[in-house]
Homo-oligomer: A and B are copies of this chain.
Amino acid sequence: MDVSTKPRPAAPARPSARERILAAAGDIAHEVGPANMSLDAVAARAGVSKGGLLYHFPAKAQLLEALIVDHLRHFEQELGDHRNEKGGLANILRSYLDVSMVDCARKAPPASGVLAAIVQHPEMMAPITRFKRQMLDRLKADAGEESTALILFLAMEGMRSMKLFNADILSAEETGRAVEALCDLIDSTRRPANPA
C-alpha cells in the first residue's frame, strides 16, 4: 500500500533513455516507413526531448549506426546462447537456422531500424556484409558439403528479407516445412562428427 517504497511513482525500473530511444527508432521506422524516421518522432516515442536524444546520439547517423551495431551484437549473442544451451554439441548450421528463425518470428520493429540505417546511409551496409560473410564462412567450415551451407545461408537471407519488408508470404505451415527440409538437408550431408 505504501507507495513510498517505490520512489518513482510511474514506470518501475524503466529502461535507460538510450535503450528507449533505440527501441523507439525501430517502432517509428516500422510505422512511418524506414525512410521517414524523424528524430522528433523518435524522441517523442521514447519519452525524451529532442535535446535529450541528441545528447545520446549527437547526429542522426550515430543513432542509425547504433541500431546496426545493436542488431549484430544481439544476433551474435543469441547464437552463442543457443550453442551453450546445447552444451556446444549442436553444429553451427543448426544453431544458425534456429536462431535465424526465432529472430524472424519476432515483431518487425528492430529490423525496420536496421533498414532505416541502410537506406539512409548505404555505406552502413558494410559491417553487415562483413558479418554475414564471416557467418557464411563459419557455416561452410562446419558443413559436410559446401552446397549445404550455401543453400541454408541463402534461405535464411530470404527469410530475413521477407521479415525486413513485412512480407508475410509463407504460411506458418510452409515455414515449418521449409525449416524441416533444411534440417534434413543439414543432417543428410553431415560430415562424420569427430575424426578422433
Task: Name A residues whose Cβ lies closer than 8 Å to a Cβ of B.
Answer: 33-36, 115-116, 118-122, 125, 128-129, 132-133, 136, 146-147, 150-151, 153-162, 164-170, 174, 177-178, 180-182, 185
Contact A33 B129 (CB under 8 A): no
8 Å CB contact of A155 from B116, B155, B164: B155
Q: List 18 A-B contacts (CB under 8 A).
A: A33-B121, A35-B35, A116-B119, A118-B165, A122-B166, A125-B165, A125-B166, A125-B167, A129-B168, A129-B169, A133-B169, A136-B169, A147-B180, A150-B177, A151-B151, A155-B155, A155-B158, A161-B161
8 Å CB contact of A177 from B120, B147, B155: B147
By a CB distance below 8 angstroms, the chain B residues around A125 are: 165-167
State how many copies of this chain the complex holds.
Answer: 2
8 Å CB contact of A150 from B116, B147, B167, B181: B181
Q: A132-B167, A161-B161, A161-B164 are in contact. List 12 more A-B contacts (CB 8 A).
A: A33-B119, A33-B121, A34-B35, A122-B166, A128-B167, A129-B169, A147-B180, A147-B181, A150-B181, A154-B155, A154-B158, A154-B178
By a CB distance below 8 angstroms, the chain B residues around A159 are: 154, 157
